[in-house]
A = this chain, B = another copy of it.
Amino acid sequence: MTEPGPALPDWLAHRAATSPSRLALIAGGREWTYQALDAEVVRTARRLAGLGVRPGDRVATLLHNGPGAVLLTHATRRLGATLLPLNIRLTPAEVAWQIEDATPRLLVADARTAEVARDACRTLATVAVIVLGSDGTLGAYPEAEVSLHLDAAPDDVLAIVYTSGTTGRPKGAMLTVGNFWWSALGSAMNLGQRDDDRWLATMSLFHVGGLSILLRSAIYGGAAIVHEGFDPLAVNRAIDDEGVTLVSVVATMLQRMLDARGDAPYPPTLRAVLLGGGPAPRVLLERCAARGIPVVQTYGLTETTSQLATLAPSDVRSHLGSAGRALYPNRMRIAGASSPEDEGEILVRGPVVMAGYHGRPAETARAIVDGWLHTGDIGRIDADGFLYVLDRRDDLIITGGENVYPAEVEATLLAHPLVAEAAVVGVADETWGSRVVALVRLGETTPPADVVAQLAAHCRASLAAYKTPREIIVATAPLPRTASGKLRRAEVRASLAGPRTPPISAPGTTPGAS
* Chain A residues close to B by CB (< 8 Å): 2-9, 14, 17-19, 21-22, 154, 182, 185, 188-190, 192-195, 219-221, 312, 314, 325, 328-329, 331, 350-351, 384-385
Query: Which residues of B are found within 8 Å of A221, using beta-carbon distances?
Result: 189
Chain B residues positioned under 8 Å from A192 (CB to CB): 192-195
Complex formed: what's the CA distance from A221 to B190 in Å?
9
Shortest distance between the CB of A246 and any CB in chain B (Å): 14
Report whether A5 and B154 are in contact in the complex, using a CB–CB cutoff of 8 Å. Answer: yes
Interchain CA distance A190-B14 in the complex, whole Å: 11
> Beyond A17-B385, A220-B189, is A314–B22 a contact (Cβ under 8 Å)?
yes
Residues of B within 8 A of A331 (CB): 9
For A314, list chain B residues within 8 Å (CB). Answer: 19, 21-22, 195
B3 touches A4 (CB 8 A): yes
Report B-chain residues with C-beta under 8 Å of the C-beta of A328: 9, 14, 18
> Which 9 residue pairs are nearest across A and B when measured between Cβ atoms?
A5-B5, A6-B351, A192-B195, A192-B194, A3-B6, A9-B329, A193-B193, A8-B329, A18-B325
Task: Return chain B residues, CB-CB under 8 Å to A190.
Answer: 18
Name the distance in Å between A282's Cβ and chain B's nearest Cβ.
Answer: 23
Copy total for this chain: 2
CA distance A154 to B3 in the complex (A): 11
A370 to chain B, nearest CB (A): 14
Chain B's nearest CB lies how many Å from the CB of A216? 12
| 10 additional A-B residue pairs with CB within 8 Å, beyond A7-B329, A19-B314, A188-B188 | A4-B5, A5-B351, A8-B329, A14-B328, A14-B329, A18-B190, A18-B325, A22-B314, A185-B185, A192-B193
Give the distance in Å from the alpha carbon of A220 to the alpha carbon of B188 in the complex.
9
- Could you tell me if B19 and A312 are in contact, using CB atoms closer than 8 angstroms? yes
**Within 8 Å CB of A194, what residues of B?**
192, 194
Query: Closest residue of chain B to A318, judged by CB?
Result: B21
Complex Cα–Cα for A7 and B351 (A): 9
Name the CB-closest residue of B to A195.
B192
CB closest chain-B residue, reference A152: B329
| Residue contact A5 to B3, C-beta cutoff 8 Å | yes
In contact, A329 and B6 (Cβ under 8 angstroms): yes
Which residues of chain B come closer than 8 Å to A8, judged between CB atoms? 329
Shortest CB-to-CB span from A325 to chain B, Å, is 6
A312-B6 in contact given A193-B188, A220-B189, A221-B189 (Cβ < 8 Å): no
Distance (whole angstroms) from the CB of A310 to the closest CB of chain B: 11
Chain B residues with CB under 8 A of A189:
219-221
Residues of B within 8 A of A5 (CB): 3-6, 154, 351
Bound: A463/B429 CA distance, A: 78
Which residues of chain B have C-beta atoms less than 8 A from A312's C-beta? 18-19
18 residue pairs of the A-B complex, CB under 8 angstroms, read A3-B4, A3-B5, A4-B5, A5-B351, A6-B350, A6-B351, A9-B329, A17-B325, A17-B384, A17-B385, A18-B312, A18-B325, A18-B328, A18-B385, A189-B220, A189-B221, A192-B194, A195-B314
